[in-house]
Chain A
């Protein structure tokens, strides 16, 4: 199973569940805003995961976002992971600006996308995911929803996530060449309006006028698809003369009889015809797509022919062509200019290019130094207890014990002499994040139990947990504490804490009780 990782500067967790439920990829999600550290740090979750694909969505409206940071991180990561493909979403500023008609963000927007295109041209591991296409097609307001942004740093609406999920699946299929091979088409009321045997070949709706234009556009799209290498077959319940007459005599028809690799015009059940096609053409029924306006025929085929894709037919016939491209072509016949085969062909060229690239990259320590991080660690007091309670309730990833406390309970710990409560504030060149972590320690004579220890996911991947733990241990030692114990509560999401405890030098016999003495 291919491994796909996801990076973002906003919360895209709802996408994780969609991919988990689909079960097609082994997946890895990093907490939001850790994208840069994940790519640069050799020990990060992402680097350990060794992904085949990395999807990156960065929202350029975020204050700290800088395209050059993305470029240098991607260059570094791809040098270290030469088999990984980076799928990077293109950029779009929010189409609302207080600067109204003298807003300059459009040219800035174009410039960012130009840089991204350049990156993709220079580095063959980088593919551009045209997210802006989805926004143009469905509208900004249907994809983005501010409510969940204020509640949980989620930018997209539910339908936005659905669209992103299916588009990304189609995209991943296209670069893996996982596409269908054969398009099986019904004739009456699918390729033309009307019924050949009843209306006569000369009276069908096909041509430049009225409803005929709908079918003309559809046929034209089908011909384009054929030019891209998709095989066509005709499957119609008719006498063959009636159908042949249309192809031979109706000059409005764009599709020709010869466009089809095989024609099944008879009165057999269509399911049998499809099985027959599989045999004649020596292809699997799983690589077929069946288009028919008749719901009963679709149901029988879907039921009897294993693996065949049977899309619904549009209720409103004027949507036929757009429906076909959007729901059938993108889903089943998506192609990418760079498939895996092309990718391998260019591997040689790429290795040389890589050496050049290596000169432009930056390493993780440089990145951290450049952030200009300033920490303030201190004992909690009456100004900080509500924020600390909130952290205990909301932090799921970097959280030792996952104990949840109310503000009253925190206040109580602060006032007790046998408890110590620490908090850590974070600031870097981009701004002040305020209190981003806390720890609660219970003192008993000369030993201490670290009851809680956590950091907000906003600041993970910057090694500040080491400074925080250093401070706590030093402060406890100064109080004459000799033994420090803690209990790690393992869940699916806080494994990074276990890694931290081991890297920090805590000892354990059971992966649950740790000590530092």
Chain B
């Protein structure tokens, strides 16, 4: 749950939006600034905040909030 809140805060900051607008179903291109460049800024910020690293293939494939949450939890060892 902690990861989910932190991720929402990152999303809100990176995409200049309110964190209440982010939910599990939020997908790339649904948020105005979540375009291909936005995706890279997002990945960079998450990597730094959680001290994890996504592979180049993962970055291309993580296109929804839920996918990003699952992958981040997996990498930080918080899978439930």
A148 contact from B29, B35, B44, Cβ within 8 A: B44
Could you mark each residue 29-59 of chain B with 1 if its beta carbon is under 8 Å from any beta carbon of chain A, else 0?
Answer: 1000001110011001101100000001001
**Chain B residues with CB below 8 A from A359, complex form:** none
Say yes or no for A158: interface residue by CB 8 A criterion: yes
Say yes or no for B67: interface residue by CB 8 A criterion: no
A158 touches B47 (CB 8 A): yes
**Chain B residues with CB below 8 A from A147, complex form:** 56, 59
B48 touches A159 (CB 8 A): yes
* Secondary structure class of chain A's binding surface, majority of residues: helix
A495 to chain B, nearest CB (A): 16
Say yes or no for B22: interface residue by CB 8 A criterion: no
Say yes or no for A394: interface residue by CB 8 A criterion: yes
- Bound Cα distance A245, B5 (Å): 54
Say yes or no for B62: interface residue by CB 8 A criterion: no
Indicate whether A151 sits within 8 Å of B40 (C-beta atoms), given known contacts A17-B14, A396-B35. Answer: yes
Per the 8 Å Cβ criterion, residues 453-490 of A in contact with B are none
Say yes or no for A130: interface residue by CB 8 A criterion: no
Q: Which residue of B lies closest to A145 (CB)?
A: B44
- Bound Cα distance A151, B37 (Å): 9
A13 touches B41 (CB 8 A): yes
Interface size of B in residues (CB-CB distance below 8 Å): 16
A396 contact from B37, B41, B48, B60, Cβ within 8 A: B37
A151 touches B56 (CB 8 A): yes
A41 to chain B, nearest CB (A): 24
Say yes or no for A169: interface residue by CB 8 A criterion: no
B40 touches A21 (CB 8 A): no
- Bound Cα distance A157, B47 (Å): 10
A148 touches B45 (CB 8 A): no
Indicate whether A158 sits within 8 Å of B37 (C-beta atoms), given known contacts A147-B56, A150-B56, A151-B59. Answer: no
Indicate whether A14 sits within 8 Å of B13 (C-beta atoms), given known contacts A151-B56, A152-B37, A396-B35. Answer: no
Q: Which residue of B lies closest to A18 (CB)?
A: B41
**Chain A residues with CB below 8 A from B16, complex form:** 17, 20-21
A148 touches B40 (CB 8 A): yes
Could you mark each residue 386-404 of chain A with 1 if its beta carbon is under 8 Å from any beta carbon of chain B, else 0?
Answer: 0000000110100000001
**Chain B residues with CB below 8 A from A154, complex form:** 40
- Bound Cα distance A393, B56 (Å): 19
- Bound Cα distance A393, B28 (Å): 12
B37 contact from A13, A21, A157, A393, Cβ within 8 A: A13
A455 to chain B, nearest CB (A): 16
B31 to chain A, nearest CB (A): 14
**Chain B residues with CB below 8 A from A13, complex form:** 37, 41
Per the 8 Å Cβ criterion, residues 149-177 of A in contact with B are 150-152, 154, 157-159, 161
CB-CB nearest 3 A-B residue pairs: A158-B44, A158-B48, A152-B40
